């Protein structure tokens, strides 16, 4: 997954079609001098519809599409024929996409399943033809309803990654390195903080041809829940993960304290995140010996843990086993 191609936030202007006007036609035939009104109804305007597509993983295709317009409904015709409805405009989005009205931040919907549809903005109704307005006292009405106007709104689309495992840690904790070793994903890796600026997804192969999806999420810093660093732009991705894998390097000043800071940031962003299952991976463990590891284990928080080294390929099998067991509890 190329990081430059991953787009998880777009703002688009949507306008539904206006309804077609009703017809004021009067029936005229060779042997019928006064046939009366037979004007048909106008067609409805096209809707703006959001639809889930499991083949998409980014909102990139909408990045440069700022204006989306649905077709207008057509006018009613003679012999009470209804005008054609305007063509609906369907916006395909990846699963996990949340839609909101940009101005009010009002929640509209969240697309979870492939093929799931939700109407963002309804098209205007078509106007009634003059056939509807005839009466004993007004047998030839020469008026009809105009169609309703379409609606227009700015819509914000945000993508929350749908993954089994989300990697949580401070910058430079080894998250991207782990993902590159256990999957075919090729995230950017370097020995400095904030290498990862966009989430990366990787499929991790397990025993007997099984697999699970792992998401490398940009590093958290203190105050992330207030929007510091990359803040809220990546914290939302954690909401969709089934299991959270906390990663703290073994050379940290206090592993338990770093874990608590990470946990507190998640809690202050969304307390429901604490209901998710958690695993702790102590990374870069090739730097320590068995004796030091035993001492460190006494200070670790009360959560399932494993010591790993992505570079030296240490503890990765045990980590996969632990993840698989937790995912299938």
Q: What is the mean pLDDT of each run of 10 residues along the chain (329 residues)?
A: 66 97 89 84 97 89 92 94 96 93 93 94 96 91 95 93 82 80 62 50 84 77 46 62 89 89 84 88 89 89 91 91 91
Residue boundaries of the structural domains of the chain: 1-159, 165-327
Per-residue pLDDT at 170: 81
- Select 1-159's CATH number: 2.70.210.12, 3.30.930.10, 2.60.40.1730, 3.20.10.10: 2.70.210.12
In terms of Cα–Cα distance, which of 99, 22, 104, 5 is closest to 56?
A: 5
Q: Can you read off the two tokens belonging to residue 209? A: 């041809």
Per-residue pLDDT at 194: 41
Per-residue pLDDT at 313: 87
Per-residue pLDDT at 322: 94
3-state SS, 236-293, equals HHHCCCCEEEEEEECCCCCHHHHHHHHHHHHHHHCHHHHHCEEEEEEECHHHCCHHHH
Per-residue pLDDT at 242: 84
Residues contacting residue 136 through CB under 8 Å, at least 6 positions apart: none
Q: Are 94 and 59 in contact (CB under 8 A)?
A: yes
In terms of Cα–Cα distance, which of 18, 60, 16, 159 is closest to 100?
A: 159
Q: Is 14 helix (H, G, I), strand (E, B) or coil?
A: strand
Q: Which residues pair with 12 in a beta bridge?
A: 155
Per-residue pLDDT at 231: 40
Q: Can you read off the two tokens belonging to residue 216? A: 């490398």
Per-residue pLDDT at 29: 80
Per-residue pLDDT at 233: 55
- Select 165-327's CATH number: 3.30.365.10, 3.40.50.2300, 3.40.50.300, 3.50.50.60: 3.40.50.300
Per-residue pLDDT at 4: 55
pTM over 0.75: no
**Count of beta carbons in the 10 Å neighbourhood of residue 318:** 13
**Angle at 48 (CA atoms; ends 62, 90), nearest 5 degrees:** 60
**Angle at 255 (CA atoms; ends 249, 258), nearest 5 degrees:** 95
């Amino acid at each position: 997954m190329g990081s430059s191609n991953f787009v998880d936030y777009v703002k688009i202007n949507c306008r539904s079609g206006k309804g077609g006007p009703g017809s004021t036609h009067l029936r005229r035939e060779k042997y019928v001098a006064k046939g009366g009104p037979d004007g048909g109804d106008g067609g409805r305007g096209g809707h703006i519809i959001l639809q889930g597509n499991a083949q998409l993983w980014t909102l990139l295709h909408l990045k440069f599409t700022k204006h989306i317009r649905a077709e207008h409904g057509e006018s009613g015709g003679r012999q009470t024929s209804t005008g054609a409805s305007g063509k609906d405009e369907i916006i395909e989005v990846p699963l996990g996409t949340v839609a909101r009205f940009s101005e009010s931040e009002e929640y509209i919907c969240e697309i979870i399943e492939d093929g799931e549809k939700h109407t963002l903005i309804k098209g205007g109704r078509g106007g009634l033809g003059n056939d509807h307005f005839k009466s004993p006292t007004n047998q030839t009405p020469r008026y009809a309803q105009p169609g309703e106007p379409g609606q227009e709104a700015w819509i914000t689309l945000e993508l929350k990654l749908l993954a089994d495992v989300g990697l949580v840690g401070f910058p430079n904790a080894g998250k991207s390195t782990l993902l590159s070793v256990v999957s075919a994903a090729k995230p950017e890796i370097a020995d400095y903080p904030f290498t990862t600026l966009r989430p990366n997804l990787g499929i991790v192969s397990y025993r007997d041809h099984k697999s699970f999806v792992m998401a490398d999420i940009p590093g958290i810093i203190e105050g992330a829940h207030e929007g510091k660093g990359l803040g809220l732009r990546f914290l939302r991705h954690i909401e969709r993960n089934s299991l959270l894998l906390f990663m703290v390097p073994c050379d940290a000043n206090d592993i338990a304290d770093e874990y608590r800071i990470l946990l507190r940031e998640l809690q202050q962003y969304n307390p429901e995140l604490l209901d998710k299952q958690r695993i702790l991976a102590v990374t870069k463990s090739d730097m320590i010996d068995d004796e030091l590891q035993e001492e460190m284990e006494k200070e670790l928080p009360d959560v399932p843990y494993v010591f790993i080294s992505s570079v030296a390929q240490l503890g990765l099998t045990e980590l996969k086993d632990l993840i698989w067991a937790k995912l299938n509890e």
